[in-house]
């Protein structure tokens, strides 16, 4: 891995031009990429505790520290708000990708003391391990997909999206190990679970029942993605029903603050009349185990 501490000059110039809406910035970045100047990974300082390694060019993104700090502000802001006042939090990051959410949430929540990052895509694991090892907390990477069974499977892309972040699990024979959250052995205490698995969220929740039930306080976040809904024909409201079968939660849409009823039948028909936007849902339960 070509690990840099500073970006090349053309990268910095192109980023400055793009932020100032000066024409030619994207062209300059493209030329830098074609010249091989964007090969490698760069450390990006987030605060005095957290830094994130991110490829200089990754799936059409040429990001620096400012871009990373601004990633998913509504989700991370609401999650940090919900975790405020909790202590000794274990973060379980399902579909961790490169570990950006784990790192940014640790930056906002100093009471996170352990991170378990699960990611099945071997093309991402080297950078993910780098980022989790750099966190100022106990961290581990599990190179596996997450579902409601332990076994194996394979990753596939939808036909209209070949990005790494769009890959989803096909259970059955394949080279990818599959585990459940319950198999991680996290019981009791404060637990935060982030789920981003491109349609398999209900199964991940089902495989986390004991972890969720036994937690003193528990937060679960998941995506409601219209493109995933069109592919799977499964409304993300199913996640609410799965969670409610385990314990009571309060559900909030991160992007607009709307509260969701656990009895909601269809999420895309019930959020402000909008059906084509990605939403992040944060479920929070601060009841002690056994009271829900």
**Ordered domains of the chain (ranges, CATH):** 73-285 (3.40.50.150)
Please tell me what DSSP assigns to residue 220.
Answer: E
Report the alpha-carbon distance of residue 98 to residue 164 in Å, rounded: 11
Report the alpha-carbon distance of residue 121 to residue 111 in Å, rounded: 29
- Which token pair is 150? 């332990």
Report the alpha-carbon distance of residue 156 to residue 251 in Å, rounded: 30
Q: Where are the alpha helices (DSSP H) in 46-199?
A: 65-69, 73-83, 100-108, 125-134
Decide: helix, strand or coil at residue 240.
helix
**Residue 36, Cβ neighbours under 10 Å: how many?**
8
* pLDDT given for residue 291 in this prediction: 43
Cβ neighbours of residue 269 under 8 Å, at least 6 residues apart?
275
The pTM for the full model equals 0.93
Instruction: Print pLDDT tens along the chain (292 aa).
Output: 889 888 999 999 999 999 999 999 999 999 999 999 999 999 999 999 999 999 999 988 899 999 999 999 999 999 999 999 999 999 999 999 999 999 999 999 999 999 999 999 999 999 999 999 999 999 999 999 999 999 999 999 888 888 888 888 999 889 999 999 999 999 999 999 999 998 899 999 999 999 999 999 999 999 988 888 888 888 899 999 999 999 999 999 999 999 999 888 887 764 544 556 778 999 999 765 444 4
């Amino acid at each position: 891995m070509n690990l840099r501490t500073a970006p090349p000059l053309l990268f910095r110039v192109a980023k400055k031009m793009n932020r100032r809406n000066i024409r030619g910035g994207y062209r300059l970045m493209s030329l830098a990429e074609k010249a091989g100047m964007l090969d490698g990974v760069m450390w990006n300082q987030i605060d005095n505790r957290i830094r994130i390694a991110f490829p200089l060019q990754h799936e059409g993104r040429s990001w620096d520290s400012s871009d990373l700090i601004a990633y998913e502000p509504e989700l991370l802001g609401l999650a940090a708000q919900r975790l405020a006042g909790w202590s000794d939090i274990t973060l379980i990051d399902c579909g961790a990708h490169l570990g950006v959410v784990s790192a940014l949430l640790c930056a906002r929540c100093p009471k996170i003391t352990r991170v378990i990052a699960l990611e099945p895509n071997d093309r991402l694991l080297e950078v993910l391990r780098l980022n989790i090892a750099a966190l100022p907390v106990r961290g581990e990477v599990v190179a596996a997909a997450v579902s409601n069974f332990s076994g194996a499977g394979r990753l596939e892309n939808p036909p209209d999206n070949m990005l790494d972040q769009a890959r989803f699990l096909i259970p059955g024979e394949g080279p990818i190990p599959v585990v459940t959250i319950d198999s991680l052995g996290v019981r009791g205490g404060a637990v935060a679970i982030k789920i981003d698995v491109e349609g398999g969220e209900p199964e991940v929740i089902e495989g986390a029942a004991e972890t969720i039930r036994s937690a003193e306080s528990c937060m679960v976040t998941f995506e409601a993605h219209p493109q995933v809904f069109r592919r799977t024909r499964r409304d993300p409201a199913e996640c609410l029903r799965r969670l409610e079968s385990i314990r009571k939660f309060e559900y909030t849409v991160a992007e607009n603050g709307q509260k969701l009823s656990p009895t909601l039948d269809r999420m895309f028909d019930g959020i402000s009349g909008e059906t084509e936007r990605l939403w992040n849902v944060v479920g929070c339960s601060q009841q002690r185990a056994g009271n829900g």
